[in-house]
Amino acid sequence: MTVAKSETRDRRARRTRKAIDEAFLSLMRQKGFERITVGEVAERADINRATFYLHYVDKYDWMNAYVDGLFEELAEEMGRPDVPIDELRQSQTLERLFAHLDRRFDTYALLLSNGGGDLLQRRLKPMIMTLMREMPATDQLQASPLETEFMAQLIASSAAGLIVWWVQNNRPISAHQVAGALMKVHRFVTTMKPDGDGDASIMGIEHIEHTDEPTSQAGGATQ
């Protein structure tokens, strides 16, 4: 196959996928995702059913692929700095994340109203976790590796849920305000002071503790 023919086929495939995307989004606004049939999508996209199945296994496969495309777009817009990330760069990256959500708000709101909440949170969490792991600890307190992972999990899970809430509630505050609030949460968690036990780490979690001794059973004999 020549390069020209390959490019022509690729353009045709992109046009077909775009038509399928638009058909799904239009039908979701009218009747909801669960009630949509492949036949309706094919008719709306002006293709036959066989063409649809050349691209997707079923409508759920389309949903996953469409969300993947959104997050590829988001990752590109957020960018990956070539220098170590600091608080300013982290704040700017979070603002780009919310700027993307703001710009594509109608699409995300439509997905959430059609059962896409869990799918979006599963995509958001690892992206935010990567950002949080790269953020250095404060000068005053140092985080152990386990604490770094603990904080990344905590903040990423909260942030993913917050983003879903923000979209579902029609952006009650601005994208800039949400990004700022998440930065405040990060600063709060990473500057918590020791609880008086003399541990200089952030949370006093230096390692995983295992209890080797079996738990005594209630009612056991006493010496």
DSSP string, 82-143: SS---HHHHHHHHHHHHHHHHHTHHHHHHHHTTT-HHHHHHHHHHHHHHHHHHSPPPSS-B-
Q: Are residues 49 and 159 in the same domain?
A: no
Q: Are residues 82 and 186 in the same domain?
A: yes
User: H helices within 113-223, ranges in order?
Assistant: 117-134, 145-168, 175-190
pTM of the model: 0.75
pLDDT of residue 223: 44
Q: Are residues 39 and 66 in the same domain?
A: no
Classified as helix, coil or strand, 202 is coil
Q: Which of 183, 186, 178, 195 is nearest to 154 (CA)?
A: 186
Per the document, the length of the chain is 223
Look up the domain containing 35 and give its range.
10-56
pLDDT of residue 18: 96
Q: Please state the φ and ψ torsions of residue 142, each to the nearest 5 degrees.
A: -110, 140
Amino acid identity, position 161: G
Total domains, the chain = 2
Q: Are residues 44 and 73 in the same domain?
A: no
Q: Are residues 110 and 68 in the same domain?
A: yes
Q: Are residues 103 and 43 in the same domain?
A: no
Is the CB of residue 67 less than 8 Å from the CB of residue 118? no
Q: Distance between CA atoms of 28 and 51, rounded to whole angstroms?
A: 20
Q: What is the domain-level CATH number for residue 14?
A: 1.10.10.60
Q: Are residues 83 and 158 in the same domain?
A: yes
pLDDT of residue 210: 45
Q: Distance between CA atoms of 171 and 37, rounded to whole angstroms?
A: 31
Give the count of alpha carbons within 13 A of 187, CB side only.
Answer: 11
Is residue 190 one of the residues assigned to a domain?
yes
Q: Which of 18, 24, 55 is nearest to 40 (CA)?
A: 24
Amino acid identity, position 165: W
Per-residue pLDDT of the chain (223 residues; tens, 9 = 90+): 565 666 677 888 999 999 999 999 999 999 999 999 999 999 999 999 999 999 999 999 999 999 999 999 988 888 754 444 455 666 778 888 888 999 999 999 999 999 888 888 888 888 888 777 666 555 444 667 787 778 778 888 888 888 889 999 999 998 888 888 888 877 777 665 555 444 445 445 444 444 455 554 444 444 4
pLDDT of residue 208: 47
Q: Are residues 145 and 117 in the same domain?
A: yes
